[in-house]
Amino acid sequence: MSDMVNREKFGDVVVLHIRTNSVDAVSAAAIEAACNEMQPITVLNFAEVSFINSAGISVLLKFVVKARKAGYKLFAMNLSPHHQKIFKMVEMSRFMPTIEERDLSSYRQS
């Protein structure tokens, strides 16, 4: 897998840490490759992401489509306030609700 996304797996959970600040047309393909790493519970960590445009939204939708097909749960973590606004606007938040670090930590321990 590309070094644009780092995988952290525990049990049925995988956290995909996006390691680029810009989810856009340039980084889309490398991020899409991480679709293959999805697990029944998949969390996308946006902590390092400072920019997402519609090319970025399109690639995130690939994760949504795959999660729906496989019956997986998909969450977004550490979204900036601006991106929370955008996700609400386009209703991405319906398909990829946000999760807090602290909710995740219970999974990590188990």
CB 83 → other proteins: shortest distance, Å? Answer: 8
Beta carbons within 8 Å of 72's beta carbon, 6+ residues apart: 38, 39, 40, 41, 42, 66
Minimum Å gap between C-beta 9 and other proteins is 25
Q: How far apart are CA 32 and CA 55, in angstroms?
A: 11
Give the separation between CA 28 and CA 36, rounded to whole angstroms: 14
CB of 42 to other proteins, least distance (A): 16
Cβ proximity to other proteins, 9 vs 82, nearer residue: 82
Nearer to other proteins, 27 or 45 (CB): 27
Chain residues binding other proteins by CB under 8 A are: 22, 24-26, 51, 53-55, 57-58, 61-62, 64-65, 68, 80-82, 85-86, 89-92, 94-95
Task: Choose between 78 and 104: whose C-beta lies nearer to other proteins.
Answer: 78
Residue 13 φ/ψ, nearest 5 degrees: -105, 135
Give the separation between CA 29 and CA 11, rounded to whole angstroms: 27
Q: By C-beta, is 58 or 105 nearer to other proteins?
A: 58
